[in-house]
Amino acid sequence: MSGAPSDGLALIAGTGALPGLLAGALAARAEPFVLAEMEGFPAAVPGAEPLRFRVERLAPFLDDLLARGVRRVVLAGAIRRPRLDPSAIDPATAALLPRLTAAMQAGDDATLRAVIGLFEERGLAVVGAEAVLPELVPGAGLLAGAPTGADRKDAARAAAIVAALGSVDVGQGAVVAQGLCLAVEALPGTDAMLDWVAATGAGLRPDPAGAKGVLYKAPKPGQDRRVDLPALGPGTVARAARAGLAGIAWEAGGVICLDRAGMVAAAEAAGLFLWARDPGDAR
């Protein structure tokens, strides 16, 4: 893991399950790669000793990757915007920081686009997680169960809401039941949204015998899909079940399923559907 050949790969890992899945897949294929992490955001990759870096010394870090033969980079996992220490900034990085700080003030999407731009200008191609593990991002189709006609309408309504949220860089998820939006995803995230629906959503549905509701997830409109795709896992399925929903739908090709087999097993046990929805499906 500590080195990479020419045209090699670097996995720049944040927190969460995704970096470990990608590292495991690369190791299983005996594909050399450089594992790196930002200081303060340890990656959950057992047995690995990552190359650590700071934003204040981004330029030397990029040069180090190039010297190790890296030409492709995967950005995986969650990080927060770091608090910069001006005393730690080297001269080469100082020339880059105005672009980064301006992008940070414009929102998460702008920050990610700026980061990708800095990598690409150094000759480092940024690729998505599916380049390492294609099965993480399912194409259109049902993975478990089947939505009713009412569920499909709720999913379509939720898709429109998520597109509107994403256009202002707010969130990537919504819960809709019987045509009504019960909750939208904001900074606390999907788990918090579903927990809120579990605690309060039963009384919001007009018809207790009607459609139970759908969680829908999708990337933001115009988002660079190489980074920060929304993700689902067995824990999401468990929370959706506790929230009394009928199932989970998401934009096909635009959402990472961290443990597809675990998700399917959990959905089948709870009687939920899992639907990778074609964005062109108007039903």
- Please report, for the domain that includes residue 253, its CATH number: 3.40.140.80
- Report pLDDT for 107: 66
- Report pLDDT for 71: 95
- Report pLDDT for 283: 62
Burial class for 23, CB neighbours closer than 10 Å (0-12, 13-18, 19+): buried
Q: Let me know whether 204 and 109 are in one domain.
A: no
- Long-range pairs for 23-31: beta carbons < 8 A, 24 or more residues apart: 23/48, 25/132, 25/133, 26/132, 27/1
Mean pLDDT score, 179-200: 94
Q: What is the pLDDT of residues 250-267, one digit of tens each?
A: 999 999 999 999 999 999
Q: Let me know whether 144 and 169 are in one domain.
A: yes
Strands (E) across 89-149 are located at 125-127, 141-144
pTM of the model: 0.85
Mean pLDDT score, 70-96: 87
Q: Let me know whether 273 and 223 are in one domain.
A: yes
* Sequence-distant (≥ 6) Cβ neighbours of residue 87 within 8 angstroms: none
* Sequence-distant (≥ 6) Cβ neighbours of residue 238 within 8 angstroms: 266, 270
Q: Let me know whether 231 and 156 are in one domain.
A: yes
Quick check: is 3 in a domain? no
Supply the mean pLDDT for the chain: 89
Quick check: is 282 in a domain? no
- Report pLDDT for 62: 95
Chain-centroid distance of CA 176 in Å reads: 21
Q: Let me know whether 221 and 192 are in one domain.
A: yes
Q: What are phi and psi of 5, to 5 degrees?
A: -75, 175
Q: Let me know whether 141 and 125 are in one domain.
A: no
Q: What is the CATH number for 124?
A: 3.40.50.20
The least confident of 14-28, 51-65, 70-84, 187-201 is 70-84
Q: Let me know whether 110 and 41 are in one domain.
A: yes
Among residues 101, 131, 161, which one ends one of the domains?
Answer: 131
Nearest to 145 by CA among 277, 236, 264, 282: 264
Residue that has been written with the tokens 């955001």 in this structure: 41
Q: Which amino acid is at 278?
A: D
pLDDT band, residue 272 (cuts 50/70/90): very high
Query: What Å distances lie between residue 75 and 27, 58, 153, 251, CA to CA?
Result: 17, 15, 35, 21
Nearest to 158 by CA among 135, 180, 191: 180
The least confident of 101-105, 121-125, 196-200 is 101-105
Higher pLDDT among residues 244 and 225, named by residue: 244
Query: What does DSSP say about strands 33-38 and 273-277: parallel, antiparallel, or unpaired?
Result: unpaired
- Count of domains forming the chain: 2
Q: Let me know whether 170 and 89 are in one domain.
A: no
Which of 70-79, 82-91, 184-193 is modeled with the greatest confidence?
184-193
Residue-range definition of the domain harbouring residue 194: 137-277
Quick check: is 1 in a domain? no
Quick check: is 267 in a domain? yes
Mean pLDDT score, 264-276: 98
Quick check: is 205 in a domain? yes
Q: Do 45 and 107 meet the contact criterion of CB atoms below 8 Å apart?
A: no
